[in-house]
Amino acid sequence: MDYKSEIAAKLAEITGLESEQVYKLIEIPPQVEMGDFAFPCFTLAKTLRKAPPMIAADIAGDERLASLDALTAKNVGPYVNFFIDRSYYAVNTIDSILKAGDDYGFDNEGEGKNVIVEYSSPNIAKPFHVGHAFTTIIGNSLAKIYTKLGYNVIRMNHLGDYGTQFGKLITAYRLWGDENALNEDPITELLRIYVKFHEEEKKDPSLTDSARENFKKLEDGCEEEVALWKKFRDMSLVVFDKLYKRMGMEFDNYNGESYYAKMADDVANMLKEKGLLVESEGAQVVDLEEYGVPPCIILKSDGTTIYATRDIAAILYRHETYNFDKNIYVVGTPQALHFKQVFSVMKKAGFDYADNCVHVGFGLVKFKNMKFSTRDGNIVLLEDLLNEAVAKTREVIEENSKARGQDMTAEQIDEIAEKVGIGAVIYTYVKSGRERDIVFSWEEMLDFEGDTAPYLMYTYARIKSILRKAAEQGLAPASEEDKISILTSDEEYNVIRTLADFPDAVKKAAASNEPFMISRQIALIARNFNRFYNNSSILNADSEEQKVARLALCEAVADTLKSGLDLLGIGVVERM
RNA sequence: GUUUGCGUAGCUCAGCAGGAUAGAGCGUCCGCCUCCUAAGCGGAAGGCCAGCGGUUCGAAUCCGCUCGCGAACACCA
């Protein structure tokens, strides 16, 4: 049901403007009392040579508006305000939500289309810190959002598993590696010897040569070196997968840089054949002046490939394998230029699908007065953050549980704490526009009040509790139209309005690759619901009719919150 | 230096294909648990939307300049 286009069509008929133009002018009034849609008459003032308020009065008085279903028009100053019939609105939105359940917000706009989302992409043998969480969480959410809209999503983890650093690691491992420690805690051990390598390298330059040699052997496929590399890679993946599993996500493809490195030479040859390679300061580059970007290096002066070459190989591969409709890179904003160059090279080489590649950037995670640095060790591991959040959540639950006389078992508390704690962390990454930097603070990460995941999950759990009690009393949410139609109070209506906007928020989130469009919407729903909840009794409502109608509203809110939270990568709990 | 992003309440952020009194959350102050979970709700205080100029009937929103902060800018990824 699209009221806006109906209004636009009718206004077009009356004003003589194009329907599309009217559609764009229609806005949503800042106050509820002003109605649901508004048409400003300023633009008509010139052509009609009349004051806007007069035009508004004329339009509002036009009898052709009467044919609009469930809508009434009223002129207020220079605006024509439209009011949707609340009963009609309530029935429509709640009905469609209850039919969809927690699938609410789905759409089939993406049917038959493949979307690739590349995200997370950690470097193997390196610790997974709270900075990596940004791409991981945003990417996961985008994958879910596109899936909801009917797209076939391919989740790709473009692992950082290639480069001279692995030559260093091999050298370091042979000199100082501890097999037991490696098995115990692979990343920590690998990081230890990696840091040691850099320290020793300053004193003993021969280490550099050894590392270079080992990397060369690795590239040439020498058995021992490849076996070691593979071991590091596999062990890292086990650690990462544990983390991914804990956060409820999995990938379809782990092809890392090493995978595409094999194809990079072909890319260079292809570009050469097309006559796009130019020599510059010893390197082979593609000039991109016509795109307004600096040249892109394809072959370094020593003749080897570079990450841009591998990224181009990856695009070619992905197009061939998945024939993508969209190829999304969830990679930090500092790499914007790199992607612009890569996409431009593709474009210049005549691959039009370069236009379907998009870099979705995000901000930095940083400390207040300190830089984040793996080498200096001043990082916060994502795992530590999750543990901390879960532990604090458990404290809160235990406190509340005692105070409320609940009888939760230790297992139940653990399970709830895990979901709420992780949800709280995830939410801090998706509550604002993704290009904003996040200044890491424990205080904020562990804040469970206000605009946070626990607040949303709490709202959900409270509703579930009501629904359980209702069932015990033999009460079921209303499903009949005439029963739902009594939900017309201001507070009920406010909730319904925000519920109705949810599917649009999902589409906007996809169109702008911004998960926060969803977090913002469900936060609004929860706030409106909590206001209603605090002022109107549900199970103790005046009449049976009111009880079941409100129960239907409760269920609709629960479904929508669950749907929205899931799109962010956050689960729900039935009680907390 | 070049390119680019940002500057909205004490703090963290929405709003920016121009429109009706600039909105949330946190923090502060004041209230609300004999009734569905107070991780909740209500109220108050708090803003020359960085500054200046321009376009417009109308600008936080569009354009230009200035100031302040950050990022990227060739053989790392």
Instruction: Given the residues A4, A113, A126, A508, select the one marked as catalytic.
Output: A126
Of A561, A502, A495, A563, the closest CA to residue A529 belongs to A495
Question: What are the structure tokens assigned to A78, written together?
Answer: 């220079």
Q: In this predicted structure, what is the pLDDT of residue A349?
A: 96
A522 and A389 in a common domain: yes
Residue A301's contacts (CB-CB under 8 Å, 6 or more residues apart) are: A281, A282, A283
Q: Which of A315, A332, A366 is the last residue of a domain?
A: A366
Q: In this predicted structure, what is the pLDDT of residue A273?
A: 95
Q: In this predicted structure, what is the pLDDT of residue A72?
A: 93
| CATH code of A480's domain | 1.10.730.10
Under 8 Å between Cβ of A492 and A532: yes
Q: In this predicted structure, what is the pLDDT of residue A24?
A: 83
Question: What are the structure tokens assigned to A74, written together?
Answer: 């009223």
Q: Which of A84, A103, A135 is the last residue of a domain?
A: A84
Q: In this predicted structure, what is the pLDDT of residue A69?
A: 84
| CATH code of A22's domain | 3.30.1360.70
Q: In this predicted structure, what is the pLDDT of residue A373?
A: 65
Q: In this predicted structure, what is the pLDDT of residue A1?
A: 52
A313 and A236 in a common domain: yes
Q: In this predicted structure, what is the pLDDT of residue A490?
A: 92
* pLDDT 10s digits, A218-250: 988 999 999 999 999 999 999 999 999 999 999
Reported residue count of chain A is: 576
Residue A107 is assigned to a structural domain of this protein = no
A136 and A238 in a common domain: yes
* pLDDT 10s digits, A295-317: 999 999 999 999 999 999 999 99
- Residue A7's domain comprises 3-84
Maximum distance among all Cα pairs of chain A, rounded to whole angstroms: 90
Backbone angles phi, psi at A11, to 5 degrees: -65, -35
Q: How confident is the model at residue A164 (pLDDT cuts 50, 70, 90)?
A: confident
Residue A289 is assigned to a structural domain of this protein = no
Of A455, A476, A458, the closest CA to residue A555 belongs to A476
Helix residue ranges per DSSP H, A431-476: 442-445, 453-472
* pLDDT 10s digits, A184-227: 999 999 999 998 998 898 889 899 999 999 999 998 899 999 99
Query: What DSSP element (H or E) covers A329?
Result: strand A326-330
Q: In this predicted structure, what is the pLDDT of residue A375?
A: 62
Residue A206 is assigned to a structural domain of this protein = yes
| Nearest nucleotide, CA A393 to C1' | B39
Residue A278 is assigned to a structural domain of this protein = no
A154 and A41 in a common domain: no
Mean pLDDT of A528-538: 96
Q: Helix, strand, or coil here: A83?
A: strand
| Nearest nucleotide, CA A338 to C1' | B72
A388 and A361 in a common domain: no
Question: What are the structure tokens assigned to A96, written together?
Answer: 């469609």
Residue A291 is assigned to a structural domain of this protein = no
Q: Is residue A25 over pLDDT 90? A: no
Residues 359-388 (A) near nucleic chain B, CB < 7 A:
364
Residue A502 is assigned to a structural domain of this protein = yes
Q: In this predicted structure, what is the pLDDT of residue A19?
A: 85
Q: Distance (Å, rounded) from C-alpha A40 to C-alpha A105?
A: 30
Burial degree of A76 (CB within 10 A; 0-12, 13-18, 19+): middle
Residue A310 is assigned to a structural domain of this protein = yes
| Nearest nucleotide, CA A297 to C1' | B74
Instruction: Please tell me the total count of domains within chain A.
Output: 3
Nucleotides of chain B touched by protein CB (<7 A): 4-5, 12-15, 17-21, 23-27, 35-42, 57-58, 70-77
